[in-house]
Amino acid sequence: MVPPRRTRQQRVAAVELPPGMWKTLWTNLQRGSVLLRLAMCAAAAIFLWAFTKAWDPPFSHRLGEVPHRNVIARVDFEQPDPAATNKARDEARRFAFGEYNQNPEPLVQLRGQLISDIGKVLQAKTLAEVDQTLWKQFQPPLAVGTPDPTPEEQAAQFERFREAFAGEKGMDAFSEGLEEVMAPYEQRGLLKELPVEAQANTEKILVKNTSGFDAEVPVSDVRIKQAAPKLQQLLKEKLPSVEVADRAFAWLEPKLPETLTLDAKATQLTQEKAAAAVAEVTKPFVKGKDLLAEAGKPINEDSLKLLRLEHEADLSDQTASERLHRSAAALGMFLALYTLAGFYLYRRDRRVIDELLRLVALLGLFVVSVAVAKVVSQYAWGADVIPLLLFGMVIAIAYHQEMALLLSLCTTLVVVIAIGHGFTEALALAATVAGAVLVLKQVRTRSRLLLVGFVAAVVGFFTTIGVGILDERSWTSLLTDGFTVALWSIIAGSLMTVMLPTVEKMFGVETDLSLIELGDPAHPLLQELIRRAPGTYNHSITVASLAEAAAESIGARGLLVRVGAYFHDIGKMLKPQYFIENQSKGDNRHDSLVPAMSTLVIIAHVKDGADLARQNRLPDSIIDFIQQHHGTTLVEYFYRQANQKKVQEDPDSGALDESSFRYPGPKPQTREAGVLMLADAVESASRVLKEPTASRIENLVHEISMKRLLDGQFDESGLTLEDIRKIGESLVKSLTAVYHGRVKYPDQETA
């Protein structure tokens, strides 16, 4: 059925224009892979935002820094005064109460002994019957200048003492009065002198009694020298007569015991509690008035502590709104840098965006570099240049210098803001990193990275001095900072030398150094190739020489092509006699095979070579050369044989399907792989030239180049027509040199 014919209006309405920028962007944002990559970038930004505390301004001063002008306090703050605080706490310890344990038993026993001795005295009816030693203890001391009493006076005194206890309740009244007088002392205790080790309050003490009595007691109430007069007064008030009171006191005073014992552990605990209760003594600093660091003098430890205290006070004064604004600015900076780097990668190197692992590695390296720079800058000034240099060198090695410059400058900007560097420090950092990246083009020797470190050191040294002169800094400070940056740069180069194998493995790249090691003829695979297929090995060596010169003529990596050429035909060692370079005259094993089978044998060397390379852990870039050096080209010799045979059998049949006689590919994906394809084809074809003159070689190279070009083999390699022309010219020169004419000497016979 014929479809109805559409009108002109319907045909116009059916025309669809390509989607605009915003629609394309919206479509991409709906793809899961794009959302995943955006989420990874957001996670990296949020981590750095949190790690660097982007909501607070960083502390930007350092030890030894020479400020250009006096640094005055921006906010009110207080500085702890340790000396004054310690003095106040020592004072609190001295005023804390010493704690003493009271044992009343000695006073109770003393009271009982006094009553007992009085009872013994009262048993005598006359002074003559009294034990004079005992009675002497009851004699009050005579006043100075008073004569000793006569015997009559002594007898009268004894008689009055006896009369004081006359009556049935005389002794009971004395005992009760004495108990009442001694009760306070039995509670508070007595002490000869305050112990030296107490080092506590000398006015009051804390007495702890076994009965649970705890009280703050004046020292005068427990010190025996001061308590004795009070005891005498109480005795006079409570005992029946003054004479009895005086004689009882005369007996008691020399026998008053020390009943209080210092509790050293409890006293120390009390003193420490008192000291801990003392608030820290601080020295106030007033905003806009007090000087924190003097202009022209290096910042010392004391000034740095003041500046840190001021910074902490400033942070505590930050409002939620101020923190929010700063956080938004930091995240906005991350967004701008991600956008800049993203557009660059999208336009110049899609591998990083398309391959998820590469993006993860790049983001991880970025995050680690910023984090390490933030940490090391807190311990050693200028050491943040080390992670920045390592970041730039890793990107330059893994990708190329242009990308390394852009991403390094982005990372430097983040580090500068996170650490709080000024313009001069930021400029010195950026110049140092750029200097290292610009000279890091090839790593052919182990000393190359050290040389890069020295170049970065020179750039950093002179840049630091140059920007410091513009900033009017002292020469002492400039030279110190310059040498510091230079030292860190050399250390970074040394670290990169050690890290190189890890970087190559992580990013899947091969430096010239690793390629030189890989291309060593002593490599087991190459040795096995020499033993099994010497003709193929010679072919590979020749192709390597041709391809290296051709690659360098277009600015490609000649060393990579050369090493790839060494291994590109290792698969032939499994069936070496099926390839012409390994066959002797008259021995061609393909004579016994049909063309289709011969084609399978020939094509199989690509897969066999890739398998051998993987088993021996050759890099992916070398495996790519093995798989791509024939692309999807046609095995023309056997295809023609098979086609002729088919025509002979059936003249009316069409041509054979070429797909069965083509290599599986893929086509060359890099310029280096395209160069190797041409060099391999040209070298093989040149062997059959009977007289390889320069013109014949040129025609051969042109013919093979055009055949590969028209067959579409270079469509995915990135080679331009100009590149193909330069490659052809290089191959012609190299082959002409290989097949140059020789002078025939006399008597020389043709071999």
pLDDT tens digits, one per residue of 695-704: 889 999 999 9
The tokens for 561 are: 């092509």
**What's the pLDDT score for residue 4?**
63
Distance, CA of 87 to CA of 84 (rounded, Å): 5
Q: Which residues pair with 101 in a beta bridge?
A: 208, 261
Cβ-proximal residues to 164 (8 Å cutoff; 6+ apart), any chain: 170, 240, 241, 243, 244
**What's the pLDDT score for residue 489?**
92
- The yes-or-no verdict on residue 212 having pLDDT over 70 is no
**What confidence tens digit (pLDDT) does each residue in 43-65 have?**
999 998 888 888 888 888 777 77
Predicted confidence band of residue 17 (pLDDT cuts 50, 70, 90): low
- The yes-or-no verdict on residue 274 having pLDDT over 70 is yes
User: Same CATH topology for 39-56+320-509 and 521-738?
Assistant: no
How far is C-alpha 409 from the chain's CA centre? 20
- Using DSSP, state whether 202 is helix, strand or coil: coil
Asked whether the bond before 151 is cis by omega within 30 degrees of 0, the reply is: no
- Other C-beta atoms closer than 10 Å to the C-beta of 738 total 14
Q: Which residues pair with 204 in a beta bridge?
A: 218
**What confidence tens digit (pLDDT) does each residue in 604-622 have?**
999 999 999 999 999 989 9
Amino acid at the residue 2:
V
The mean-pLDDT minimum among 105-119, 469-483, 655-669, 732-746 falls in 732-746
**What's the pLDDT score for residue 751?**
38
The tokens for 266 are: 């409890």
Which of 709-712's residues contact partners 24+ apart within 8 Å by CB, and which partners? Answer: 711/633, 711/634, 712/667
Higher-confidence residue of 66 and 379: namely 379
Query: Which pairing describes strands 77-80 and 291-293: parallel, antiparallel, or unpaired?
Result: unpaired
- The yes-or-no verdict on residue 121 having pLDDT over 80 is yes
Question: What is the average per-residue pLDDT within 623-638?
Answer: 91
- Using DSSP, state whether 445 is helix, strand or coil: coil
**What confidence tens digit (pLDDT) does each residue in 668-708 have?**
999 999 999 999 999 988 888 878 888 889 999 999 999 99
**What's the pLDDT score for residue 1?**
46
**What's the pLDDT score for residue 24?**
65
**What's the pLDDT score for residue 679?**
95
CA angle 20, 21, 26 (to 5 degrees): 100
**What's the pLDDT score for residue 666?**
93
Measured CA to CA in angstroms, residue 572 lies from 385, 424, 663, 682 at distances of: 50, 61, 15, 18
Query: Which pairing describes strands 77-80 and 71-72: parallel, antiparallel, or unpaired?
Result: unpaired
Closest CA to 565 of 584, 577, 550: 550
For residue 47, count CB atoms less than 10 angstroms from its CB and return exposed for 0-12, middle for 13-18, buried for 19 or more: middle
**What's the pLDDT score for residue 750?**
44
Say if residues 342 and 20 touch (Cβ distance below 8 Å). no
Closest CA to 104 of 44, 213, 188, 24: 188
Cβ-proximal residues to 245 (8 Å cutoff; 6+ apart), any chain: 232, 235, 236, 238, 239
End-to-end CA distance of the chain, in Å? 78
**What's the pLDDT score for residue 214?**
79
Closest CA to 540 of 517, 557, 523, 552: 523
**What confidence tens digit (pLDDT) does each residue in 438-492 have?**
988 877 777 888 889 999 999 999 998 988 888 777 787 788 888 999 999 999 9
> Among the ranges 118-127, 307-316, 408-417, which has the highest mean pLDDT value?
408-417
**What's the pLDDT score for residue 659?**
82
The tokens for 659 are: 């797909």
Distance, CA of 136 to CA of 146 (rounded, Å): 17
SS (H, E, C) 35-85: HHHHHHHHHHHHHHHHHCCCCCCCCCCCCCCCCCCCEECCCCEEEECHHHH
Residue identified by tokens 């003493």 is 100
Question: What is the average per-residue pLDDT within 206-233?
Answer: 86
For residue 454, count CB atoms less than 10 angstroms from its CB and return exposed for 0-12, middle for 13-18, buried for 19 or more: middle
The H or E element spanning position 218 is strand 214-218
Residue identified by tokens 């250009």 is 68
Considering Cα of 499, then 503, then 504, then 506, what sign does the dihedral take? positive
Secondary structure letter of residue 5 according to DSSP: P
- The yes-or-no verdict on residue 5 having pLDDT over 70 is no
Measured CA to CA in angstroms, residue 384 lies from 192, 266, 491, 501 at distances of: 69, 53, 12, 23
- The yes-or-no verdict on residue 373 having pLDDT over 70 is yes
Say if residues 42 and 335 touch (Cβ distance below 8 Å). no
Name the percent of the chain lying above pLDDT 90. Answer: 34
Cβ-proximal residues to 253 (8 Å cutoff; 6+ apart), any chain: 228, 231, 232
- The yes-or-no verdict on residue 22 having pLDDT over 80 is no
- The yes-or-no verdict on residue 2 having pLDDT over 60 is no
| DSSP-H helix ranges across 280-355 | 301-316, 320-348, 351-354
Say if residues 418 and 54 touch (Cβ distance below 8 Å). yes
Question: What is the average per-residue pLDDT within 132-159?
Answer: 84
Distance, CA of 177 to CA of 180 (rounded, Å): 5
What CATH code is assigned to 521-738?
A: 1.10.3210
**What confidence tens digit (pLDDT) does each residue in 84-108 have?**
899 999 999 889 989 999 998 999 9
Predicted confidence band of residue 526 (pLDDT cuts 50, 70, 90): very high
Phi, psi (5° rounding) for residue 205?
A: -135, 165
The pTM for the full model equals 0.70
- The yes-or-no verdict on residue 749 having pLDDT over 50 is no
Instruction: Tell me the average pLDDT of the chain.
Output: 86
**What's the pLDDT score for residue 26?**
67
**What's the pLDDT score for residue 740?**
63
Distance, CA of 685 to CA of 633 (rounded, Å): 15
What CATH code is assigned to 39-56+320-509?
A: 1.10.1760
- The yes-or-no verdict on residue 649 having pLDDT over 80 is no
**What confidence tens digit (pLDDT) does each residue in 221-266 have?**
899 899 889 988 988 888 878 888 888 888 998 999 999 999 989 8
Higher-confidence residue of 740 and 126: namely 126
The mean-pLDDT minimum among 210-219, 331-340, 376-385 falls in 210-219
Question: What is the average per-residue pLDDT within 213-217?
Answer: 82
- How long a stretch of residues is the chain? 751
For residue 535, count CB atoms less than 10 angstroms from its CB and return exposed for 0-12, middle for 13-18, buried for 19 or more: middle
The tokens for 224 are: 């025996």
Q: What are the sequence ranges of the domains in the chain?
A: 39-56+320-509, 71-81+281-316, 95-274, 521-738
Distance, CA of 271 to CA of 93 (rounded, Å): 5
Considering Cα of 295, then 300, then 305, then 306, what sign does the dihedral take? negative
**What confidence tens digit (pLDDT) does each residue in 376-417 have?**
988 888 889 999 999 999 999 888 889 999 999 999 999 998
The tokens for 746 are: 């006399």
